[in-house]
Amino acid sequence: MTMTKRQSLMKRTLSSIALAAGLLLGSSSAMASEEGSLPSAGTNVHDQAALQRGAKLFFNYCVGCHSLKFVRYSRIAEDLGLSEQDVMGNLNMTGAKFGDPVVSHMPEESATTFFGKAPPDLSLEVRAKGADWVYGYLNSFYLDPSRPVGWNNTVFPNASMPNPLWELQGLQTAVMHKVDGEEAVEKLELSRPGKLTPAEYQQATRDLTTFLEYAAEPAALQRQRYGIWVLLFLAAFTLLAYALKKEYWKDVH
């Protein structure tokens, strides 16, 4: 292949890469603009203390209705640095065994009667909707007497569930305004404080979101730890391969 042909092929290859990158960045920008109204969750699944606090919140306020069918109590203990006694004594509210998955004790029939449909399993909730969505959802409940359960949500309008953390957050009410002749929520105001200050509640929901992000992919913690060693191996192998190439080609002119 002549030099001119090589240069032409290289230009076409670089143009294709640039086009693909442009499309990818454009798609990412569009997604960011669509989700720009969501607050940043700021989660960190490597923060073990946050994971432990989030687990406590989940098992005290969420497991009554929601399951984590793809996560076992034993795995939570291993990944969160807890003993079997810690988990079984403080987190296990259903009488399950240490090796069992986390399953809500609410019968599906009762959930359907109360909420109109069975509450979803939350194992993959963050994978499906993103940490920012879950965090925003937990912070966006407000009182709405027109709804069957008396609550509504600005992130997920007409949600079927009440605010499970209302005792911690307090009661929010909506300030309405008209958009194209229809009533819409302009902002939410705290009409009655809860047990936590707004800043403390935001931290609590961030911790809960962090735990749900971990639950969506527990193997991510181990995979990321292994990833460092894989990168170090590849770096060392690259140096070795380069030295070997230099040795093989040193007599070739």
* Contact between residue 41 and residue 135 where contact means Cβ atoms under 8 Å apart: yes
- Measured distance CA(245)–CA(213) in Å, rounded: 44
Beta strands in 144-225 (DSSP E): 151-153, 170-179, 182-193
Binding residue numbers: 62, 65-66
Binding residue numbers for heme c: 62, 65-66
The pLDDT tens digits of the residues spanning 151-172 come to 999 999 998 899 999 999 999 9
The pLDDT tens digits of the residues spanning 113-147 come to 666 677 899 999 999 999 999 999 999 999 999 99
Q: Is the pLDDT of residue 59 over 70?
A: yes
Could you give the 3-state DSSP secondary structure of residue 129?
helix
Q: How high does pLDDT run on average in the chain? A: 84
Which carries the bigger pLDDT value, residue 54 or residue 28? Answer: 54
For 42-217, CATH number?
1.10.760.10
The full set of domain ranges for the chain reads: 42-217
Q: Is the pLDDT of residue 26 over 60?
A: no
Give the contacts of 148 (CB within 8 A, at least 6 positions apart): 116, 160
52 DSSP assignment: H
- Measured distance CA(215)–CA(212) in Å, rounded: 5
How many angstroms separate the Cα of 49 from the Cα of each of 6, 82, 98?
56, 11, 21
